[in-house]
Amino acid sequence: MALIVQKYGGSSVADVEKVKSVARRVAAATAGNQLIVVVSAMGKTTDSLIGLANQVVPAPDPREMDMLLATGEQVTIALLAMALQGLGLRARSFTGAQAGLRTDDAHTKARITQITAERVRRALDAGEIVVVAGFQGVSDADEITTLGRGGSDLTAVALAAAVKADVCEIYTDVDGVYTADPNIVPEAKKLDRISYDEMLEMASLGAKVLQSRSVEFAKKYGVPVHVRSTFKSDPGTLVTREDPNMEAVVVTGIAHDRGQAKVTIRGVPDRPGIAAQVFGTVSDHGIVVDMIVQNVSRDGLSDISFTVPRGDRPTVVATLEDVATKIGAESVTYDDRIAKVSIVGVGMRSHSGVAARMFRALSREGVNIHMISTSEIAVSCVIEDKYVELAVRALHDTFELAV
């Protein structure tokens, strides 16, 4: 008997018919197995709830935001449990708190601190199918929290680790992890396997097929993750430990991210302590900075540019305007029309000239590079947003990922 965690994303449970069809798929997997099913909010519910909050106030209180957002998943768990019961199966739904998913108190981006999963285990032992609300948890102060966008993936992986499940299956609207977003590159190829490290880079560089923190968690606890289609029964992509054959491929995939903004502080006095002051202020707001570039100084002044999640850009600009005045900088400017394209592959560790090939491919298309960053297994460029699809396709071609 296997213990399986299945997670169904928003588009897989977008309406009642889809919820019923997920119930049938779950039912088919129950034969001889124990099942935990994690679900997201239906369709675009989370986006709609955020829209509602923003109509009420421009910057909603994060605690109330979590109170609101957590309702989305609660609708789905109840409907799915009903649908399973309608098929004659024993099923019981649990909120994140009831499933024992404890988090810190960082509302809207909480981190998991502990999972007790006692009620989950008891229900499984009693022969019930356990249905759990993704994306939500509870803090030590008994406040409802959420785990950041895409957080149901993390709920599924974390529960799989806590109950030592045999596999964590992520069911979604594509049939696996592709060499690039198949909605942008139609000839992208489905990967049979991808290493945790490559998947982590792909996810953190924008491939939203898995939430990056869920991959981090899966790697840490060695949870085998299988990404596959809700609507087809074909095998999908196994996210797993690296094996020696994986290094033979230089570039495994192309990722892109349209969710960032670039902020620049111009005319910054070039003296020790300035960067610490600027980035200290940003991190005091809990905002994560991605790429940073400081220009060579001229006449004792330099420019510092960096990227942040676009949703955080207004806060960053507002707070840095104060800092700029204090440190005697000239101005703070920003650009929301940027995108990041990246190439990812463990093979880059042992091959040289990969970054240069990437830059040549972009230049052939006339795409100007604004910022560059590298890691051991990835190279990223910030470019103008309007060129992002062109850039992804050009890189997919250059690294011959379709063949």
Euclidean distance between CA atoms 344 and 201, whole angstroms: 7
**149 sits near ligand ASP (criterion: CB under 6 A):** yes
Task: Report the nearest approach of ligand ASP to the CB of residue 14 (Å).
Answer: 11
CA 29, 182, 357 angle in degrees (round to 5)?
130
Query: Binding segment for Mg ion among 44-52, 144-152, 268-276, 371-379 (CB under 5 A)?
Result: 144-152
Task: Report the nearest approach of ligand ADP to the CB of residue 209 (Å).
Answer: 4
Nearer to ligand ADP, 92 or 219 (CB): 219
Give the residue at shortest CB distance from ligand ADP: 9
Nearer to ligand ADP, 107 or 149 (CB): 149
- Residue 135, contacted partner among ligand ASP, Mg ion, ligand ADP, none, CB below 5-8 A by kind: ligand ASP
**180 sits near ligand ADP (criterion: CB under 6 A):** yes
Task: Report the nearest approach of ligand ADP to the CB of residue 238 (Å).
Answer: 14
* CB within 8 Å of 257: residues ≥ 6 apart: 205, 206, 339, 340, 342
DSSP-derived pairing of the beta strands 237-240 and 193-195: parallel
Can you tell me which of 151, 176, 206, 236 binds ligand ASP, judged by CB under 6 A? 151
| Per-residue binder mask for ligand ASP (CB under 6 A), 152-191, x = binder | xx--------------------------------------
Euclidean distance between CA atoms 208 and 60, whole angstroms: 25
The per-residue b/e assignment along 381-390, b for 16 or more CB within 10 angstroms, e otherwise, is bbbebebbbb
Rounded to 10 deg, the angle between the 274-284 and 313-327 helix axes is 150
Q: Which long-range contacts (CB under 8 A, 24 or more apart) does 324-329 make?
A: 324/265, 326/277, 327/268, 327/269, 327/274, 327/277, 327/278, 328/269, 329/265, 329/266, 329/267, 329/268, 329/269
Task: Report the nearest approach of ligand ASP to the CB of residue 10 (Å).
Answer: 5
Task: Report the nearest approach of ligand ASP to the CB of residue 150 (Å).
Answer: 5
- Residue 43, contacted partner among Mg ion, ligand ADP, ligand ASP, none, CB below 5-8 A by kind: none
Task: Report the nearest approach of ligand ASP to the CB of residue 111 (Å).
Answer: 15
Q: What are phi and psi of 397, to 5 degrees?
A: -65, -50
**145 sits near ligand ASP (criterion: CB under 6 A):** no
Euclidean distance between CA atoms 358 and 193, whole angstroms: 24
* CB within 8 Å of 38: residues ≥ 6 apart: 5, 6, 7, 8, 131, 132, 133, 134, 152, 155, 156, 159
| Residues near ligand ASP (CB under 6 A), total | 13
Amino acid letter, 181: D
**108 sits near ligand ASP (criterion: CB under 6 A):** no
Could you tell me which of 189, 193, 204 has the C-alpha nearest to residue 150?
A: 204
Q: Scan residues 235-294 and list those touching ligand ADP (CB under 6 A).
A: 253
Euclidean distance between CA atoms 131 and 159, whole angstroms: 12
Euclidean distance between CA atoms 389 and 136, whole angstroms: 33
**151 sits near Mg ion (criterion: CB under 5 A):** no
Query: Binding segment for ligand ADP among 9-17, 278-286, 306-314, 393-401 (CB under 6 A)?
Result: 9-17
**137 sits near Mg ion (criterion: CB under 5 A):** no
Give the residue at shortest CB distance from Mg ion: 150
**150 sits near Mg ion (criterion: CB under 5 A):** yes
**Helix locations, 148-195, DSSP H:** 152-162
Query: Binding segment for Mg ion among 4-12, 185-193, 291-299, 329-337 (CB under 5 A)?
Result: 4-12
- Residue 178, contacted partner among Mg ion, ligand ADP, ligand ASP, none, CB below 5-8 A by kind: ligand ADP
**208 sits near ligand ADP (criterion: CB under 6 A):** yes
Residue 74 has which token pair? 């609660």
Rg (CA), the chain: 22
Residue 362 has which token pair? 């972009």
Which spans of this chain sit near ligand ADP (rule: CB under 6 A)? Answer: 9-12, 40, 150, 172-174, 177-178, 180-183, 207-209, 253
**Which positions lie near ligand ASP, rule CB under 6 A?**
9-10, 40-41, 46, 72, 134-135, 149-153
